[in-house]
Amino acid sequence: MNSGPTTPPFRTSVTTLPAFRPPPTEADAVPDGRGMRRLHLNEGPFAPSPRVVQAIQAAAGEVHRYPDPRCRKLAAAVAGRIGVAAERLVFGNGSEEILSLLLAMTLQPGAHAVLPVPSFPRYLAGARFAGADIAAVPVRADGANDVDAMLAAVTPETRIVVVATPNNPTGAMLPADTLVRLARDMPAQALLMIDEAYYEFARHAGGPDVLAILKDCRAPWAVLRTFSKAYGLAGLRVGYAICGDAAVAEAINRVRGVFNVDSLAQVAALAALDDPAHTQGLLDDGARQRQRLSDGFARAGCAPLPSVANFIAARMPVPSAEAVKAFAQRGIMIGAVGAAPFDNHVRVTIGTGEDTDAVLAALGEIVKR
């Protein structure tokens, strides 16, 4: 008979991962959790399109049924818009699910991953969980991924190269000529995973067509996009991979949860695609507010990094964590970059015009102290 507590039989790569520290909620910031401006998670600032709300309401009476395991309607709609066969698309519970799977699918002890840092933390966590060797390649001074350094870090054991454009938390995107070089020089033994969570913002700002450039890539690849940002559906968790060929998509399908995208999320994403004017309004207003925020941080002497995403990063006169606290005391939740050489940088999500006013007013107080 067993008695007493036992140690769960988890892999060392699990027990040695850093503790789970989810992003703070309003309740972490102030005791009653009310009145805080949420500018720390790169969410959309507006409620979703009324068409999205209607679609969810109309589908609510059917939630006793499992959702479509292939997201067929949504896949057909996205496929038509981007000119890619639906069989090359895989939807997930946010793009985070798919990118985690791709890391787990390519990596294991002895395999090697090339990742940008600082970047979306899940890349590093996913590669560590897989037990892989990791080349964490610092982003450039402007915050864009250092593609040449990343390619130089590739070894014969490399199985995945992760590129984020625009990069989170810094905001810069890769220009077309760099992407062309990446597509040309990627080793065929590794998967190229390009995270375009902020794709719609980058295109709005004149960014390159990554899918067109990848047509010449001989390595297997997957591009990740999401409904969490420009479509304002972060709470529903829908993202997808556009795969270089159907074999990559089929492999993801083998390992994902069968019903990974819930039925309300599927109808909502479809309805969001059906209201391009709503998305365009969010992108137009976002670009205006991003410029205002950037100008305001620059005027305050807090050098903003160039951003085409729905957030900006800027250098504060104090370490990131202290600056985050100072904004929180003024009712504004923002993010810390806090990683060399961006130890003093904060990341502020683009909000409404009122949010911008509030951030700039708080910034004025904080830098004056």
Ligand X SMILES: Cc1ncc(COP(=O)(O)O)c(C=O)c1O
Q: Using CB under 6 A as the criterion, which residues of the chain lie in contact with ligand X when the complex forms?
A: 42, 94-96, 120, 164, 168, 195, 197, 226, 228, 234, 239
Distance of alpha carbon 16 from alpha carbon 10, whole angstroms: 10
Residue 171: CB minimum distance to ligand X, A: 10
Helices (H), the chain: 12-15, 26-29, 50-59, 72-82, 95-106, 121-129, 147-152, 176-185, 199-204, 210-214, 246-255, 263-273, 276-299, 320-329, 353-368
CB of 2 to ligand X, least distance (A): 39
Nearest position to ligand X, beta carbon: 94
Which C-beta is closer to ligand X: that of 123 or that of 326? 123
Q: Are 202 and 196 in contact (CB under 8 A)?
A: yes
In sequence order, what DSSP letters do the residues of 58-71 get, joined into one string? HHGGGTTSPPPTT-
Cβ proximity to ligand X, 52 vs 197, nearer residue: 197
Q: Which two tokens stand for residue 119?
A: 């970047």
CB of 247 to ligand X, least distance (A): 23
Report in angstroms how near the CB of residue 7 gets to ligand X at its nearest: 32
- Output 105 or 366, the one with its CB closest to ligand X: 105
In this structure, are residues 163 and 145 in contact, taking their beta carbons and an 8 Å threshold?
yes
d(CA 37, CA 53): 23
Tally Cβ neighbours within 10 Å of residue 301: 11
* Shorter beta-carbon distance to ligand X: residue 94 or 338: 94
Give me the least distance between CB of 145 and ligand X, in Å please. Answer: 11
232 token code pair: 């304002």
**Comparison of 208 and 366: residue with beta carbon closer to ligand X:** 208
Q: Quick one: residue 182, left, alpha or beta (phi over 0 = left, psi -120 to 50 = alpha)?
A: alpha
Token match 């409904």: residue?
Answer: 227
Neighbours of 281 (CB within 10 A): 13
Question: Cβ of residue 9: shortest distance to ligand X, in angstroms?
Answer: 29
Task: Pick between residue 59 and residue 261 the one whose CB is nearest to ligand X.
Answer: 261
Shorter beta-carbon distance to ligand X: residue 271 or 300: 271
